[in-house]
Structure 1
C-alpha cells in the first residue's frame, strides 16, 4: 500500500503532479516488494555500474537532473524542490539514500533523456505523462523563473514522452505568463471566434477533467482539479474580456 501513502504525501506537497509521481513510484516499490527483489538493469546499463535504488525512482530523478542542468548550472532551489518531494514521500533515511545517487547523476553523469522516456512510455498513460511535464516545469520554476534553455529541454523531453506539441504549449502557458496567455492555455489564437473559444474550452475541460485520472484515490482526484481549474480560469478571463455569456 506504499503507493497510496506516497500519492497522498506527494499531493499535499506538490498537488497533482506530486500525487501522480508519488503513486507511480509507490506502485513500483510495491511491485518490487511482491517480487522479493530490486531492479537494476535499466539504470545500471545507463551508468555502467550497479546501483541500489529502484530503476523507476532513478529514471524520474534523472529527468529532474536533466532539467536542473539545462541552463548550465545546478540551482540549489531546484535541488531543494526535488529533495523536499522525496523527503515527504519516503522519509529521511530512504530519501537520503536516493539522493546520494541523484547527486552523482546531477554532477557527474550524462543521462539519455530519450532512453529514460522510452522506459516511462511503456509504463504510463498519456495523462500521466502530461503530469510529469507539469512536475518538470515546477522544478524549473523553483528558482523563480523558467529559462529559455529549460523550456527547450522540457520540450525535448515532451517529444520523447510522445506528448503533442499543442499539449506542451498549453502546459507551458500554465507556468510562463505571456501575452494572450489564456488563449494559449485553451490552445487557440486570439483571433478565434466566440464559438471557437467555447468549443476549445469544452475540449480542454474534457481532456483535463479529474475523471480522466481514472483512480479511486481521493487525493489524486483532488489534485487533478487544480489543473482543471487553470483551464476554467483561462476561459473565465476570456469571457470577461469579450463579454461572452
Structure 2
C-alpha cells in the first residue's frame, strides 16, 4: 500500500478536505475487499493525518485536478442510470495517456470506489470553483464531454448533468456551448466553437478567433503539469480547425 499512499498524498492540496475529500475517504474504505484490514486501517489513518495537516489550504496542485476529474466523471457516468463499460474504458485510457500505467491504475482503483458513492455535484463544484482557475474548469467540462461521448451516444441526461455541472462551476452558456460543439458534427458547430453566429463579418470572425486562442491556449494549464496538456491541446486544436473551416467556407 505504500506506493498507493505516496501517490494519493503527493499532489493533493484543497481536495484533501471538503466533499471531494469525503469521496476519496469513502473510496479508500471500499478497498476492504482488496486489501487486508491492517493495511486498510493504516491507509485511512495516513489519509486522515494528511487531511488534518493541510486543512485550510487553498493551494491547487496537479493531483487536485486529477481528483476533481475522478469525482465529476463518476457523477456524469451514473447520470443516465447505468455505468457503461465503454465510458469506464475511456476514463482508464485517458488516465493511462496522461499519467502512465502505475499512476493510472491507482487513479482507476480509487475511481471504482468513488463511483459507488452518491455525491452532490453542487457541493463538489463549489469546492472546485473556489480553488481552481477558469481555464482549469473549462478543461474539466471538456473531459466530461469526452466521457459522455465514449459510448458513441450522448444521452440527454448526460448533457443535462454536464450543463448543470458547468453552471455550478460558473462556466457561462457561451463557453459551455463552445466546448459541447467540439464533440458534435453539425453545420454551424464551427461558429459555435468560436462563440459567434453565421451572420458576423469576416473581421468579426478573426476577432473571435483571436479571443478564443487567448482563452484556450494550453499555456493557461501549465500550472497543472505537463500530464494535463494533452486535453488542452485537443481543445486548442478544435479552435484551429473551426477557424480553418470557416475561412475555407468564406474564401477568407
- State the TM-score bracket (shorter-chain normalisation): 0.7 to 0.9
The residue that corresponds to 1:16 in the other structure is none
Over 3 Å counting, the alpha-carbon distance change for 1:138 and 1:182 in structure 2 is: same
Q: Secondary structure at the match of 2:246?
A: helix
The residue that corresponds to 2:134 in the other structure is 126
Over 3 Å counting, the alpha-carbon distance change for 1:239 and 1:40 in structure 2 is: closer
Name stretches of at least 5 consecutive residues in structure 1 with no aligned partner: 1-25
Name stretches of at least 5 consecutive residues in structure 2 with no aligned partner: 1-6, 30-43, 52-63
Using structure 2 for the length normalisation, give the TM-score.
0.70
Between the two proteins, the alignment pairs up a number of residues equal to 210
1:231 corresponds, among 216, 239, 250, to 239
**In 2, Cα distance between equivalents of 1:58 and 1:225:** 21
Over 3 Å counting, the alpha-carbon distance change for 1:121 and 1:236 in structure 2 is: same
**In 2, Cα distance between equivalents of 1:99 and 1:224:** 22
The residue that corresponds to 1:192 in the other structure is 200
**In 2, Cα distance between equivalents of 1:99 and 1:154:** 18
Q: Secondary structure at the match of 1:149?
A: helix
Q: Trace 1:1-245 onto structure 2 (pairs within 5 A).
A: 29-30=9-10, 39=16, 42-43=19-20, 51=29, 52=44, 59-86=68-95, 88=100, 90-91=102-103, 94-95=106-107, 97-105=109-117, 109=118, 111-215=119-223, 220-221=228-229, 224-244=232-252
Over 3 Å counting, the alpha-carbon distance change for 1:125 and 1:89 in structure 2 is: farther
Q: What is the RMSD computed on CA atoms of the aligned residues?
A: 3.3
Residues 221-230 or 116-125, more deviating: 221-230
Using structure 1 for the length normalisation, give the TM-score.
0.72
CA shift for structure 1 position 90: 4.1
**In 2, Cα distance between equivalents of 1:239 and 1:162:** 31
**In 2, Cα distance between equivalents of 1:168 and 1:182:** 14
**In 2, Cα distance between equivalents of 1:72 and 1:104:** 13
Cα deviations by residue, 1:152-182 (Å, 9 ceiling, x for unpaired): 1100000001111100100000012222110
Q: Give yes or no for contact 2:139–2:232 (8 Å, CA) kept in 1.
A: no
